[in-house]
């Protein structure tokens, strides 16, 4: 079954809006694991506007499932944090400084040399590497040349099209997944996946190893509670 990694950035956003430690990000990570999450995802940014670097260090100490750290490897501080905490997986995202949220994948052809070098740094430390890409066949082929273990399909376009035409929405993602399987790449996915569109996505992406979901899952938890929300999402992946 596809694994569910719960992104807890939004818990930190709420905490930081008032200062102090309520809600407690570390406790949220512990609870998410107890409630059935297969992994915890965090995406620290240089301004620490949600997850802080110390949050990452603290979560590493209590993690009992898979730990996935997302971020821009062009930031030296991010590289140092990943090598210090040694998560199970690092997901490389081409964010700009101050970017609100991730909105595009790597051009794996244009940045092939850079990606090859930085991926080697993390893999030499024993960390599995995934790179964020758009569902474009040429980008998948380029990813395979960098030495990455996995790709993470950026799913915002799928989520936007899903309501109007789910077959059209999934087409490029299915094709990208087929090519990734041919090339021996593992497949992750994330961004704007929710209870309405997740099941169909998972059913149509061969070899989908993991989804990382934060905003929608935490938003749903406001209404049904964190444990129920995690279980509802896991059911969509069965």
- pTM for the model stands at 0.95
Q: Kindly state the tokens that stand for 21.
A: 């430690």
In degrees to the nearest 10, what's the CA dihedral of 42, 46, 51, 53? 90
Q: Residue 217 belongs to a domain with what CATH number?
A: 3.20.20.70
pLDDT band at 158 (very low <50, low <70, confident <90, very high): very high
Mean pLDDT within 130-154: 98
pLDDT band at 104 (very low <50, low <70, confident <90, very high): confident
Q: Kindly state the tokens that stand for 94.
A: 């081409």
Output the pLDDT for position 40. 98
Provide CB contacts within 8 A for 100, sequence distance 6+: none
Q: What domain range includes position 210?
A: 3-236
Biggest CA pair distance of the chain: 49
- Spell 193-232 as b/e; 16+ CB within 10 A means b: bbeebbebbbebbeebbbbbbbbbbbebbeeeebeebbee
Output the pLDDT for position 108. 96
Contact at 8 Å (CB) between 187 and 151?
yes
Output the pLDDT for position 98. 54
pLDDT for 200-238, tens place per residue? 999 999 999 999 999 999 999 999 999 999 999 999 999
Residues identified as active-site: 43, 70, 191
pLDDT band at 20 (very low <50, low <70, confident <90, very high): very high
Number of domains in the chain: 1
């Amino acid at each position: 079954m596809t694994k569910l990694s719960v992104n807890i950035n939004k818990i930190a956003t709420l905490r930081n809006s008032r200062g102090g430690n309520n809600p407690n990000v570390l406790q949220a990570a512990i609870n998410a694991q107890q409630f059935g999450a297969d992994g915890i995802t965090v995406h620290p940014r240089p301004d620490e506007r949600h997850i802080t670097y110390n949050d990452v260090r603290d979560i590493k100490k209590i993690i009992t499932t898979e730990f996935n750290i997302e971020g821009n490897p062009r930031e030296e501080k991010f590289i140092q944090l990943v090598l210090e905490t040694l998560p199970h997986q690092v997901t490389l995202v081409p964010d700009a400084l101050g970017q609100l949220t991730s909105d595009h994948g790597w051009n794996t052809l244009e940045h092939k040399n850079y990606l090859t070098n930085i991926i080697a740094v993390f893999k030499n430390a024993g960390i599995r590497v995934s790179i964020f890409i758009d569902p474009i066949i040429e980008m998948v082929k380029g990813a395979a040349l960098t030495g990455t273990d996995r790709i993470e399909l950026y799913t915002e376009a799928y989520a936007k099209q899903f309501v109007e035409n789910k077959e059209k929405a999934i087409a490029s993602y299915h094709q990208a997944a087929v090519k990734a399987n041919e090339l021996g790449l593992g497949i992750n996915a994330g961004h704007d996946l929710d209870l309405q569109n997740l099941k169909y996505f998972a059913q149509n992406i061969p070899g989908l190893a993991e989804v990382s979901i934060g905003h929608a899952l935490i938003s749903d938890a406001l209404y049904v509670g964190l444990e129920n929300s995690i279980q509802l999402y896991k059911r969509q992946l069965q």
